Amino acid sequence: MSPASFERVAPGIFVVRYEKDDDLLPDKQQPLLKAVRAEGVPCAIVFVLAPGIWKVDLSVPQFWSHAVGDSTLPLCAIAVVSASVAVRAATHTFRVATMLRRQKLAVASLHDERAAVQWAREALSPRAPVSP
């Protein structure tokens, strides 16, 4: 898989692997958003960040905050896989912000891709888990 590409691993579940900081920037997310919209069912995205990505540009959570508010985007869950404390903190802050805005989005920060995909499956189930 090439950098900043994504794959559909199950109906409604996309895994995105970012290899470098620039891959996360908002202008590179349009193909992913188009695929999520085309899915036609509630979706979850699992973002897997390479070990060299240890921070997130402020434009990234701002972009996703706006995207989550778009009613044409059937996004129900976002998981971020990273060992970086800064990335995990940014994910937690994003989660709190979505809760304060009463947006219906489950958000999780995990260390393992397999666990994140399983969490995404559960988040899309009728009895969705509370964000960890």
**What are 63-120's pLDDT values in tens digits?**
999 999 998 999 999 999 999 999 999 999 999 999 999 988 999 999 999 999 999 9
Across the range 44-55, mean pLDDT stands at 96
pLDDT band at 4; cut points 50, 70, 90: low
Domains, the chain, in order of start with CATH, read 5-124 (3.30.750)
Residue with tokens 């899309």: 124
pTM of the model: 0.91
pLDDT band at 132; cut points 50, 70, 90: low
How many angstroms separate the Cα of 115 from the Cα of each of 27, 61, 71, 91, 111?
Answer: 28, 22, 28, 16, 8
Cα angle 70-75-76, degrees, rounded to a multiple of 5: 125
Q: For the chain, what percent of residues have pLDDT higher than 90?
A: 86
- Residue 73 CB neighbours (<10 A): 15
Q: Partners of 60 in the beta sheet?
A: none
Question: By the 8 A CB rule, do 106 and 74 touch?
Answer: no
Tell me, what's the pLDDT at 73?
95
